[in-house]
A and B are shown apart, each in its own frame.
Chain A
C-alpha cells in the first residue's frame, strides 16, 4: 500500500476539521474539530517522516500532542466558564470583544 493514502486521509481529516470549525456553533464541537485538524497535521508529519526515513516528523508530532494537551486543558476551562456565566456553549454568543 502506497504511503500517499495516508496523506489523502490526513487531507480529508483536515478539511473536515476546518469546515467544522467554520460552520459549527457549539464550542465543544468546534474544539473537537480543532483537535481533528491538529491530528491530521500529525498524521502528515508522521507520514513524511516515514517517507524520508528520518525521525524529525515524529519528534514534531510529539510536540504537537503536548501543545494539544495543554490547549485542551485551557480551552475546556474557558468553555466551561463561559457556559457557567452565559448558560450557552454557542461561540457566537461570546462576541462581546468587539465593543
Chain B
C-alpha cells in the first residue's frame, strides 16, 4: 500500500524553525516584537496541525497516514535515507499536544518573562524546541527521529541554563545534557544495530523485518531503545537530571520537562511497538523500569518542599506509569498515549500554576513558606485544583480515566507479573494522592506562613488564561478520549492485534480499589498537613526515610560513588599514563638525539689542521682497505 503524500507537513516544522532563526539572527532588533512573532508562528503550526487532523478524519482508517519527502539525505549503495516526514494517527496526537500546549505556554511566557531582558532569546529557544520536537515525532525513520531527539536535547540544555549567570543553573543544564548523552548513545547504538542486521533504519522497514529477524537482534535493538527512552524521559536509573532541570524558567519546566520532551521516551517505545512485540525480554525490562520509576518518583515527591521539584518528581512518576503501560504490549500502548496526553494537560497546567504562585510570591519556591494562597490567587487555586484532581485520579477528571486504564491493564498482564505490576501501580496512585494533596494543602489551604513583606496577588490574564484552558483540558480530555474508547480505536491500525483478553478483576472493582487507595492517600495528607501544624522551616528530627527522600533517595550520591568518582580516577590515571609513558617516550627520543648530538659535537674542534689530518687518515685507510681487498 503506498501512502498518501502531503506537501503541507513541512510547514509544521518550518514555521517555528523560521521563528527561532529569525529571532536569533536579528538579535536586539527583534526585542520589541520577537515574542509576538514566536507565539504567532507556534499558533500557526497548531493551525496547520488542526488542518491536518481534519484532513485525516475525512479519510478511511487505513489511508490516514501521510508522508512528505523533503530531500534525499543519504544515498550510499543499497542504503537510502530520505529526510521525510510521516504524519499518522500517533504523530498527530503529539503534533497537537506539542503545538497546542506549546502555544499556550508561549502566551503565558509573554507575561511571565516580561521583566527579563533576554525575553527574545527565550522565545527563540522555545520555538527551536517546538521545531525540534515536531521533527522528533514526524520523522519517518530512526535517523530522522534522532535529529529531532538531539535538537530537543539542545533546546532543553539551552533553556535549563537560560539564567546561566547563576553557576548552579549552568551546572544543572550541563547535568541534564550529559545524562541525556547516555540515552542518546543508546539510540545511536539501536540505529547502528538496526542498520547492521536489518539494513534499514526506517520505521516501516524495521516493522517489515521485525518478524523475520532473530529475537536476539530485536532484543538488542529494544534494550538500546529503552536506554534512549530512559535517558530522555528521566526514568530509573537515569532520572537524576530532572529535579535539577527545574532551574530553568517555569514555562520551560511546564512545556519541556512535563508535557512534551520528557514524554519522548514513551513516544519512542510506542512508535517501536513492532520491535518490543518481537522482543519479550526488552518488553519486560520496559515494564520493570516503569514500575521502579513510578514508585521512585512518588517517594521522592512526598519529601520535597520545593514546589517545582515536587512536581518534577511527580512528572517522573507519571511517566513511569506511561512507560509501564507501553511495556505491556498492544494492550497498553493506547493507554500510555492517553495518559501522556492527559498528563500533558494537567501537569503543564500545574506547572504554570506553580509559576503563577512564584510570580505572586517573589519567586519563593519553598512550599513551607506558602499557605493560605487560596484567598489571594483564586484563579490559580481553581486551575491548579483541577490539575490536582486530575492527577490523583478523581472521576470525572482526566487522570482518572487514563491512570485507571493503566492500573487495570497492568493487573490483567497475567500471572504474578500482573499482580506485582498492578499493586505497584495502585500503591503509586495512593502515594501520588498523598504528595499532591500535600502540595495543594501546603500551598493553598493551610494557614499562611509567609512574611508580611510578601504581597501575593493574582497573575495577569495572559498568565491565567493558558492555565484556565489547560484546566478545561484536565477536566475533559480523559472523558473525551476514553468515551467509546475513541483514542484506542484511533490508534488501533498502528499496532498488532493482541491476543485474548485476560480479566483478573472486573473494571469496576479496579476503579473502586484505585479510588480507595487515592482516598487513603488524601486522608493521610489531610491529617498530616491540614489538621496539624506545618513548620515554616523543614524539621530536622525526621525519620531516616524522609532524610533519604529529601536527597532524592541518594541518586546523586550513588551516581557519584559508582560513576563519577571511578570515572575521575580513570581519567586522572589516564592523564598520568599519558604524561609519563606517552610523553615520556616522545621526550626520551628528543633527549637521546640531544645527548648524542652533544657527544658527537666534541669531534668538531674547529682546528683546520685536525680536520685535514682526519681526512688524510681516512684517505689512507680507504686506500689501504682497497689494496687489502683487491690483492
Contacts from A to B (Cβ < 8 Å): 18, 21-23, 25, 30, 91-92, 94-99
Contact = CB atoms under 8 A, between A and B. Distances in A.
B619 to A, nearest CB: 9
Contacts of B608: 30, 91-92, 94-95
Contacts of B607: 91-92, 95
Contact of B613 (A22, A91, A99): A22
B323 to A, nearest CB: 79
B612 A95 contact: no
Contacts of A97: 604, 606
A96 B612 contact: no
A35 B613 CA distance: 16
B616 A95 contact: no
Nearest to A98: B606
Contacts of A30: 608-609
B541 interface: no
A22 B609 contact: yes
A30 B609 CA distance: 9
A95 B613 contact: no
B609 A92 contact: yes
26 contacts: A18-B616, A21-B609, A21-B612, A21-B616, A22-B609, A22-B612, A22-B613, A22-B616, A23-B609, A25-B609, A30-B608, A30-B609, A91-B607, A91-B608, A92-B607, A92-B608, A92-B609, A95-B605, A95-B606, A95-B607, A95-B608, A97-B604, A97-B606, A98-B604, A98-B606, A99-B606
Interface of B: 604-609, 612-613, 616
B613 to A, nearest CB: 5
A21 B616 CA distance: 10
Nearest to A21: B612
A53 to B, nearest CB: 24
B604 to A, nearest CB: 5
Nearest to B617: A22
A10 B374 CA distance: 126
Contacts of A91: 607-609
A85 B616 CA distance: 30
A96 B607 CA distance: 9
A97 B605 CA distance: 8
A22 B606 CA distance: 14
A30 to B, nearest CB: 8
Nearest to B603: A98
Contacts of B605: 95, 98
A91 to B, nearest CB: 5
Given A25-B609, A97-B606, A98-B604, 18 more contacts: A18-B616, A21-B616, A22-B609, A22-B612, A22-B616, A30-B608, A30-B609, A91-B607, A91-B608, A92-B607, A94-B608, A95-B605, A95-B606, A95-B607, A97-B604, A98-B605, A98-B606, A99-B606
